[in-house]
């Protein structure tokens, strides 16, 4: 006689198989009625190929997940990840097509758990004309003229302030996060680091943790805690907005993002407090993890490539030699860091902080080779797959900043290097991130020598990061 647990297992299995067949037939019939789906495999019932994807991205070599499927099915294939059938693109032209057709054929699509944490008025979730308006407002506050005339000075000052406290063992990822958080708060609402910003950061870090609690957020304490922390952050930001509305009534105007959101002069005006708070919170999210991780990984790659570190140091020592030790960096200094830009490009290419972007097809869309993405289907445009493709980047897995020295770094120029995405949702913080990274590297290599405190490994799930937050032992120069 079979024991009851075996019976239950068999029952579950047969139920799962029926569901799988149902799903399989559904996908096939969708494909038949509406055109040819890209080839692929939807994997196990419910889970699809999620487990394979997660286990690949938990290592320092996630490439086989994509490479295996590309060699079997081609650069655009069908899979099933995070609960939905998904068309996956590792093709630069298809990626470009997807990104450029934002709002026409595709729209951004984040899972519900993330949307709740971001807030429904965040730029990342906005669509249509409101998105256009808010995107250009964000751009206008992160453009090079604003950075040159206002933000660069703050960036340099805050980077130095933080580094002044460094001694002995430093958890680089934590330090980089502190710096980028303080910079974003300054850019958004002009606050310098103080007890209030410290407390805000503590709550905010709980919110961030909630982003990475896939796949069952409703059962997770981390997620529940994140929702509560979001509420506290939103309350704190609401008070700031209230205070600033009063300042505006008194005719006072600061030069920051919040001011632009509050008045017509800055292209804003007419937004509710809730809209403004969601917007600010999403900006904190978008700029913080991304830039701080890139800072940390640039240092890791440089440490492992001493020749590149030496060349970078030479570039920055030359700049410092023209200035007094504590003199602030100017825009011309930033513009005379060509090798630094090569290091930043190469870090962005190899680390791929945002590995790709999720979209949803708004209608049946015909793509490359006559395949059809059915209306409502999830699409993942993998930026990483293109950046790590040996056909586009010679010895793609090697950290080689020199590849950017004489040309665009690629064998062919168009669509190959897109660390900041593209089209109407292209990252409005791209230039700001580059400046923050450059200043950070400048102050680091001119003030410190360092070595890794212990060996640390790069992983790509749930986000790109090193397992131990990259501990280093620093020594002040001179």
- Which residues define the annotated binding site for heme? 427
Task: Decide if residue 291 touches ligand HEM (CB under 6 A).
Answer: yes
Stretch near ligand HEM under the rule CB under 6 A, chosen from 240-248, 306-314, 329-337, 420-428:
420-428
Stretch near ligand HEM under the rule CB under 6 A, chosen from 10-18, 26-34, 232-240, 421-429:
421-429
Task: Decide if residue 349 touches ligand HEM (CB under 6 A).
Answer: no
Task: Decide if residue 290 touches ligand HEM (CB under 6 A).
Answer: yes
- Residues with Cβ within 8 Å of 306's Cβ and at least 6 positions away in sequence, in order, are none
Nearer to ligand HEM, 27 or 427 (CB): 427
Task: Decide if residue 142 touches ligand HEM (CB under 6 A).
Answer: yes
Nearer to ligand HEM, 343 or 427 (CB): 427
| Per-residue x/- track, 306-345, ligand HEM (CB under 6 A) | ----------------------------------------
Residue (of 61, 93, 71, 56) closest to 396 by Cα position? 61
Task: Decide if residue 420 touches ligand HEM (CB under 6 A).
Answer: yes
> Quick check: helix, strand or coil at residue 166?
coil
Long-range CB pairs of 44-50, under 8 A, 24+ apart, other chains included: 44/16, 44/20, 45/16, 45/17, 45/19, 45/20, 46/16, 46/19, 46/83, 47/80, 48/79, 48/80, 48/81, 48/83, 48/84, 48/85, 49/79, 49/80, 49/81, 50/80, 50/81, 50/82, 50/83, 50/215
Nearer to ligand HEM, 42 or 380 (CB): 380
The interface with ligand HEM within residues 117-136 (CB under 6 A) comprises: 123-124, 135
Nearer to ligand HEM, 45 or 419 (CB): 419
Tell me the closest approach of the beta carbon of residue 283 to ligand HEM, in angstroms. Answer: 5
**How far is Cα 256 from Cα 411, in angstroms, rounded to an integer?**
41
Stretch near ligand HEM under the rule CB under 6 A, chosen from 3-11, 51-59, 191-199, 353-361:
353-361
Long-range CB pairs of 51-56, under 8 A, 24+ apart, other chains included: 53/79, 53/81, 54/461
Stretch near ligand HEM under the rule CB under 6 A, chosen from 77-85, 290-298, 384-392, 464-472:
290-298
**How far is Cα 200 from Cα 278, in angstroms, rounded to an integer?**
15
Tell me the closest approach of the beta carbon of residue 401 to ligand HEM, in angstroms. Answer: 16
Provide the annotated binding site. 427
Task: Decide if residue 432 touches ligand HEM (CB under 6 A).
Answer: yes
Please, is 473 exposed, middle or buried when counting C-beta atoms within 10 Å of its C-beta (0-12, 13-18, 19+)? Answer: middle
- Out of 155, 163, 365, 427, the only residue in the binding site for ligand HEM (CB under 6 A) is 427
Tell me the closest approach of the beta carbon of residue 435 to ligand HEM, in angstroms. Answer: 9
Q: According to the 3-state scheme, what is the secondary structure of 125-148?
A: CCCHHHHHHHHHHHHHCCCHHHHH
Nearer to ligand HEM, 109 or 389 (CB): 109
- Out of 357, 396, 444, 445, the only residue in the binding site for ligand HEM (CB under 6 A) is 357
Nearer to ligand HEM, 42 or 343 (CB): 343
Tell me the closest approach of the beta carbon of residue 309 to ligand HEM, in angstroms. Answer: 20
Task: Decide if residue 419 touches ligand HEM (CB under 6 A).
Answer: yes
Give me the residues paired with residue 356 across strands.
382
Nearer to ligand HEM, 27 or 357 (CB): 357
- Out of 37, 200, 208, 283, the only residue in the binding site for ligand HEM (CB under 6 A) is 283
Task: Decide if residue 266 touches ligand HEM (CB under 6 A).
Answer: no
Residues making up the chain, counted from first to last:
478
**How far is Cα 15 from Cα 149, in angstroms, rounded to an integer?**
64
Long-range CB pairs of 106-111, under 8 A, 24+ apart, other chains included: 106/359, 106/360, 106/361, 106/362, 106/365, 106/379, 107/359, 107/360, 107/362, 108/357, 108/358, 108/359, 108/360, 108/425, 109/358, 109/359, 109/360, 109/378, 110/358, 111/82, 111/214
Dihedral-angle region of residue 40 (phi above 0 means left; psi in -120 to 50 means alpha; beta otherwise): left
Stretch near ligand HEM under the rule CB under 6 A, chosen from 90-98, 152-160, 237-245, 417-425:
417-425
Nearer to ligand HEM, 213 or 292 (CB): 292
237 alpha carbon, distance to own chain's centre: 23
Tell me the closest approach of the beta carbon of residue 143 to ligand HEM, in angstroms. Answer: 11
Instruction: Using CB under 6 A, list all residues that contact ligand HEM.
Output: 108, 123-124, 135, 138, 142, 283, 286-287, 290-291, 294, 348, 353-354, 357, 419-421, 425, 427-429, 432-433
């Amino acid at each position: 006689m079979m024991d009851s647990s075996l019976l239950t297992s068999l029952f579950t299995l047969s139920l799962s198989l029926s569901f799988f067949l149902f799903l399989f037939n559904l996908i096939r019939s969708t494909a038949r009625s509406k055109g040819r789906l890209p080839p692929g495999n939807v994997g196990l019932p419910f889970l699809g190929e999620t487990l394979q994807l997660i286990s690949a991205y938990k290592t320092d070599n996630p490439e086989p997940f994509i490479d295996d499927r590309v060699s079997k099915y081609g650069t655009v294939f069908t899979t099933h990840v995070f609960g939905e059938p998904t068309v996956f693109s590792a093709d630069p032209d298809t990626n470009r097509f997807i990104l450029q057709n934002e709002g026409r054929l595709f729209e951004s699509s984040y899972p519900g758990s993330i949307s709740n944490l971001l807030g429904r008025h965040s730029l990342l979730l906005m669509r249509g004309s409101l998105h256009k308006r808010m995107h250009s407002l964000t751009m206008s506050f992160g453009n090079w003229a604003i950075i040159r005339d206002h933000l660069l000075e703050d960036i340099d000052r805050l980077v130095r302030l933080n580094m002044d406290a460094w001694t002995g063992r430093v958890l680089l990822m934590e330090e980089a996060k502190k710096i980028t958080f303080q910079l974003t708060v300054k850019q958004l609402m002009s606050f310098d680091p103080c007890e209030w910003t410290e407390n805000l950061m503590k709550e905010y870090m709980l919110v961030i943790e909630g982003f990475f609690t896939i796949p069952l957020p409703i059962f997770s304490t981390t997620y529940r805690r994140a929702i509560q922390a979001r509420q506290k952050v939103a309350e704190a930001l609401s008070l700031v907005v209230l205070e600033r509305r009063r300042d505006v009534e008194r005719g006072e105007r600061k030069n920051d993002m919040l001011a632009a959101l509050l008045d017509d002069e800055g292209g804003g005006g007419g937004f509710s407090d809730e809209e403004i708070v969601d917007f600010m919170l999403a900006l904190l999210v978008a700029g913080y993890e991304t830039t701080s991780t890139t800072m940390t990984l640039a240092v890791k790659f440089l440490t492992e490539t001493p020749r590149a570190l030496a060349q970078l140091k030479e570039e920055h020592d030359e700049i410092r030699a023209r200035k007094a030790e504590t003199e602030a960096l100017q825009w011309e200094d930033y513009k005379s860091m060509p090798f630094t830009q090569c290091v930043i490009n190469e870090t962005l290419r190899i680390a791929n902080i945002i590995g790709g972007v999720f979209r949803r097809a708004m209608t049946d869309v015909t793509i490359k080779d006559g395949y059809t993405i059915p209306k409502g289907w999830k699409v993942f445009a993998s930026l990483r797959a293109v950046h790590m493709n040996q056909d586009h980047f010679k010895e793609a897995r090697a950290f080689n900043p020199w590849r950017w020295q004489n040309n665009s770094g690629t064998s062919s120029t168009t669509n190959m290097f897109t660390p900041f995405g593209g089209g109407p949702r292209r990252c409005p913080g791209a230039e700001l991130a580059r400046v923050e990274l450059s200043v950070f590297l400048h102050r680091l290599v001119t003030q410190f020598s360092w070595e890794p405190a212990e060996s640390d490994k790069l992983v790509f799930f749930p986000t790109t990061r090193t397992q131990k937050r990259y501990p280093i032992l620093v020594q002040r120069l001179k």
